[in-house]
Amino acid sequence: MTPFLSHPFSTFRHLRPLLLTGLFYITIASFAFAGIEAADNIPDPPVDYLKEVRPILARHCLSCHGADAAKRKAKLRLDGPDPMAVSIKRSTPVIVPGNPESSGLYQRVTSEKDSQRMPPPDTENNPLQAEEILVLKNWIQQGAPYAAHWSFTMLTRPKLPSTKKNSWPINPIDHFVLARLEQNGLTPSASADSYTLIRRVSLDLRGLPPSPEEVATFINDTASGSYSRMVDRFLADPAFGERWAGMWLDLARYADSSGYGSDPLRTIWAFRDWVIDAFNQNLSFDQFTVQQLAGDLLENPSTPQMVATAFHRNTMTNTEGGTDDEEFRIAAVKDRVDTTLQVWMGLTMGCAKCHDHKYDPISQKEYYQFFAFFNQTADADHSDERPLLKLAEETVLEKDRLIEEQLTKLREQLKEAAEEDQEALKKQIEQAEKTKPDIPTVPIMKELPSDQLRSTTILVRGSFMDKGAEVTTDVPQAFHPLAPDTPSNRLGIGQWLMDPANPLTARVTANRFWAQLFGSGIVETEEDFGTQGELPSHPQLLDWIASELIESKWNIKSLLRLIVTSATYRQTSRLSSDLLTVDPRNRLFTRGPRFRLKAEMVRDQALALSGLLSRKMHGPSVFPPQPPGLWRAAFNGDRTWHTSQGPDRYRRGLYTFWRRTVPYPSMATFDAPSREICNIRRIRTNTPLQAFVTLNDPVYVEAAQALARRIVRNGGETPEQRAHFALQLCLTRPPEAKQIKILIELYESEKAFYETDPDAAQQMATNPLGPLPTGMKKEELASWTVVSNVLLNLDEILTKR
């Protein structure tokens, strides 16, 4: 292993040659020890620098002895391979490998004297615990081996590990998972049954439960390869693009309003549609990336490529009176920098706006060098959101141009016209305005002409008024340099992100898709692949999938197919007390994924089961019912929620109008973010407010009423038949007798009640869905509505299992 002091301090860029010459095997080797502790007690097990030492240094030392030059004390830097120290007594080196007692670091953390002991008692840093001191001691004792941060090292495709139970793996993913399980003396869970699997795959790939017909097709397909055929059917369903756009829109901070005080409404839904189509067309992830970051800079960009650039026009615009447009233009550019690095590289650069990053190797100067790439677009916090792209057929655009020309002329004439002519001219203008076609627009990125380019400076403490030294475009030193001939603009950044030499993009992307399917990533902190983030649970598995992603030419559908066809994914999600003890959070993948559906899926599933769901795609956002009076934004912002009529009432959640200051309440309750800024990961919660939504929100009551009608219409004649039908429909599996019995008992008790209260029955059966269908009895429907309301609230329904 590379001793801590064996080579001079180097930046990570300098480390790359070392890596290539094979000296740097430690990064991979050390992972073998990751995870659950071995059962046998070896005295002083090898200390893992990344897992054990680095977190202690980061927690207690690096805020004063880290990458931030301005905050660095005693010129001592502890985050690199070689601690630089000049002010500690020269006779005491910071670290003497193999000898803790002679090492300054160990002496200072164990000193009895308050004036000597580190960290100083009066700082924000917590004192070291005894076990932390022991880790440092053992580490130095063992030669103080150092390892570069895992995610900054180059991606290589690992070999498949050997395993014992060779009958289990279906594809390479399973070899990595199984090797880890066997290491811990564990075995995988059995495969889930077909009913469970089709529901799981359907929800995962397209965000909707399978229809009874789809279930029948799959169950009746007994030929080999039926599972793959089922997967392929869902991958080809246009609902696929909608489901995955839902994930991407959190990252893109897509919303239908501009944010801040009055939060005015914004027309940018064409971008949402672009994302849906991109996923459905399986646009390769590198094209997906480049078009969003710099579609306008491609040669002869197509309209969709221009629309893609709205990705970075989802930043907020401040229209509050008395604001400085430059202040908020800069805020938007910073947001673009932060979002770009976070989405593609899992790095949080926010703090480098004001000072050098304390933990990750990004200086403030580097932040503004990166910022300079994004600082040349024409948008500038204008309240009209210009530059905009008009979206229509060429003939319509031509008509629009002609009328616009005519209007300009008329307005000129009006200015100079004599008083008696003014009235007539005004009428003409009014007429012309009426004939103007109603063309949707989308805000886009547009590079400034070369004679209007802005100069970029460091902003001292991040303040737009406090300009420091001027900087030019560059990427942070710690990473691979721009390839030769890369343009010095956003297009260059797109290429740099997708360069196979970029150690992070493929890892971060593979991890993100994995997390969507398994409920958490191989790196749990999806948002942070930096030194403060969690380490991967299966580093080689992640690297293998990431390599595979690159080799497939960034094919997202094949990445997803690979994961959902693995044996790992297909395991049952059943838990036992043993599993809860050895793998409480399923970090080892001892079982299949099991977690609550995300906000959009909770809604879409209820609508799908009830039969109300509209599968209409694309277009302006819609306004499903929400309680009146919620839009009360400041400064005369738009206050009317025009509830949609007809099918638009029942569209998928992704089409719901998303106003940042007042997000759609039922969605927010299920942890959807407000999308003011990029949101990498939704943290799932489980609260009584969620119960209120699915029990009482008129949207869900309406779904229960429609489900009740479906049950009565299609479910047979007897309560038994109907209960059976309802359970089979909702749970996607043959029900148990006991479940049927519980539902029938509820049905009978409510029927008895509603027969005594016809008004209540009428309300329960029809408000808000609408009049009773002919031939149906209100007491019956009201009672089935109560039953349906229970069904739509089952744990089994709200959970992907």
Tokens describing residue 238? 């246009």
| E strand map for 588-736 | 595-596
Task: Determine the Cα–Cα distance for residues 272 and 119; give it in Å rounded to an integer.
Answer: 50
- Residue selected from 87, 91, 686, 756 as contacting other proteins according to rule CB under 8 A: 686
Q: Is 794 in the site for other proteins (CB under 8 A)?
A: yes
Q: Is 383 in the site for other proteins (CB under 8 A)?
A: no
Residue window 69-108: x/- pattern of binding to other proteins, with contact defined by CB under 8 A: ----------------------------------------
Task: Determine the Cα–Cα distance for residues 378 and 453; give it in Å rounded to an integer.
Answer: 9
Nearer to other proteins, 290 or 723 (CB): 723
- Residue selected from 301, 762, 772, 777 as contacting other proteins according to rule CB under 8 A: 762
Q: Is 288 in the site for other proteins (CB under 8 A)?
A: no
Nearest distance in Å: CB 230, other proteins = 23
- Residue selected from 627, 716, 770, 773 as contacting other proteins according to rule CB under 8 A: 627
* DSSP label at residue 632: -
Q: In whole angstroms, how far apart are CA 542 and each of 20, 240, 532, 537?
A: 20, 24, 18, 9
Residue 622 main-chain phi, psi, to 5 deg: -115, 165
Q: Which amino acid is at 664?
A: Y
Q: What is the footprint of other proteins within residues 320-359 (CB under 8 A)?
A: 320-324, 331, 342, 347-348, 350-351, 354, 359
Q: In whole angstroms, how far apart are CA 737 and each of 74, 82, 411, 721?
A: 74, 68, 77, 11
Q: Is 381 in the site for other proteins (CB under 8 A)?
A: no
Q: Is 259 in the site for other proteins (CB under 8 A)?
A: yes
Q: What is the footprint of other proteins within residues 518-547 (CB under 8 A)?
A: 524-525, 527-528, 530-533
Judge contact between 82 and 2, C-beta under 8 A.
no
Q: Is 129 in the site for other proteins (CB under 8 A)?
A: no
How far, rounded to the nearest angstrom, does the alpha carbon of residue 200 sit from its chain's CA centroid? 20
Nearer to other proteins, 521 or 539 (CB): 521
Q: Is 666 in the site for other proteins (CB under 8 A)?
A: yes
Nearer to other proteins, 87 or 581 (CB): 581
Spatial CB neighbours of 586, under 8 Å, sequence gap ≥ 6: 518, 519, 593, 594
Cis-peptide, bond into residue 188, ω within 30° of zero: no
Question: If phi over 0 gives left and psi between -120 and 50 gives alpha, with beta otherwise, what is residue 554?
Answer: left
Reduced 3-state DSSP string for 134-182 = HHHHHHHHCCCECCCCHHHCCCCCCCCCCCCCCCCCCCHHHHHHHHHHH
* DSSP label at residue 458: E
Q: Is 662 in the site for other proteins (CB under 8 A)?
A: yes
- Residue selected from 561, 661, 708, 729 as contacting other proteins according to rule CB under 8 A: 661
Segment contacting other proteins by CB under 8 A, of 21-29, 220-228, 553-561, 683-691? 683-691
Nearer to other proteins, 103 or 318 (CB): 318
Judge contact between 702 and 663, C-beta under 8 A.
no
Q: Is 790 in the site for other proteins (CB under 8 A)?
A: yes
* DSSP label at residue 3: B
Nearest distance in Å: CB 193, other proteins = 12
Judge contact between 554 and 533, C-beta under 8 A.
no
Nearer to other proteins, 389 or 797 (CB): 797
Segment contacting other proteins by CB under 8 A, of 164-172, 445-453, 483-491, 761-769? 761-769
Judge contact between 617 and 684, C-beta under 8 A.
no
Judge contact between 221 and 283, C-beta under 8 A.
no
- For CA atoms 494, 496, 501, 502, give the dihedral sign: negative
Segment contacting other proteins by CB under 8 A, of 18-26, 165-173, 288-296, 668-676? 668-676
Nearer to other proteins, 156 or 187 (CB): 187
Q: In whole angstroms, how far apart are CA 147 and each of 65, 126, 523, 729?
A: 18, 25, 18, 54
Nearest distance in Å: CB 585, other proteins = 6
Tokens describing residue 567? 């044996």
Segment contacting other proteins by CB under 8 A, of 8-16, 177-185, 260-268, 600-608? 260-268
Q: Is 265 in the site for other proteins (CB under 8 A)?
A: no
Query: In residues, how long is the chain?
Result: 801
- Residue selected from 573, 621, 644, 656 as contacting other proteins according to rule CB under 8 A: 573
First to last CA, the chain: 43
Segment contacting other proteins by CB under 8 A, of 244-252, 507-515, 569-577, 606-614? 569-577
- Residue selected from 219, 643, 767, 773 as contacting other proteins according to rule CB under 8 A: 767
Nearer to other proteins, 236 or 354 (CB): 354
How far, rounded to the nearest angstrom, does the alpha carbon of residue 375 sit from its chain's CA centroid? 25
Q: Is 261 in the site for other proteins (CB under 8 A)?
A: yes
Spatial CB neighbours of 688, under 8 Å, sequence gap ≥ 6: none
Q: What is the footprint of other proteins within residues 450-469 (CB under 8 A)?
A: none
- Residue selected from 580, 716, 721, 773 as contacting other proteins according to rule CB under 8 A: 580
Q: Which amino acid is at 493?
A: I
Q: Is 214 in the site for other proteins (CB under 8 A)?
A: no
Task: Determine the Cα–Cα distance for residues 306 and 295; give it in Å rounded to an integer.
Answer: 5
Nearest distance in Å: CB 79, other proteins = 13
Q: Which amino acid is at 59?
A: R
Q: Is 585 in the site for other proteins (CB under 8 A)?
A: yes
Q: What is the footprint of other proteins within residues 586-625 (CB under 8 A)?
A: 594-596
List 377's β-bridge partners, or say none: 447
- Residue selected from 663, 715, 724, 726 as contacting other proteins according to rule CB under 8 A: 663
Q: Is 763 in the site for other proteins (CB under 8 A)?
A: yes
* Angle subtended by helix axes 698-714 and 688-696, to nearest 10: 50
Tokens describing residue 82? 């070689």
Q: Which amino acid is at 95?
A: I
Q: Is 143 in the site for other proteins (CB under 8 A)?
A: no
Tokens describing residue 763? 């309300």
Task: Determine the Cα–Cα distance for residues 343 and 338; give it in Å rounded to an integer.
Answer: 8
- Residue selected from 36, 380, 429, 677 as contacting other proteins according to rule CB under 8 A: 677
Nearest distance in Å: CB 524, other proteins = 7
Nearest distance in Å: CB 464, other proteins = 11
- Residue selected from 7, 399, 574, 618 as contacting other proteins according to rule CB under 8 A: 574
The CA angle 123-128-133, to the nearest 5 degrees, is 145
Nearest distance in Å: CB 249, other proteins = 16
* DSSP label at residue 298: S
Nearest distance in Å: CB 738, other proteins = 7
Nearer to other proteins, 357 or 649 (CB): 357
**Other C-beta atoms lying within 10 Å of the C-beta of residue 581:** 8
Nearest distance in Å: CB 16, other proteins = 23
Nearest distance in Å: CB 693, other proteins = 5
Nearer to other proteins, 629 or 646 (CB): 629
Residue window 480-519: x/- pattern of binding to other proteins, with contact defined by CB under 8 A: ----------------------------------------
> Which 3 state secondary structure label does DSSP give 636?
coil
Q: What is the footprint of other proteins within residues 687-726 (CB under 8 A)?
A: 687-693, 695-698, 701
Q: What is the footprint of other proteins within residues 728-757 (CB under 8 A)?
A: 736, 738-739, 742-743, 745-746, 749-750, 753
Q: What is the footprint of other proteins within residues 293-322 (CB under 8 A)?
A: 316, 318, 320-322
Q: Is 581 in the site for other proteins (CB under 8 A)?
A: yes
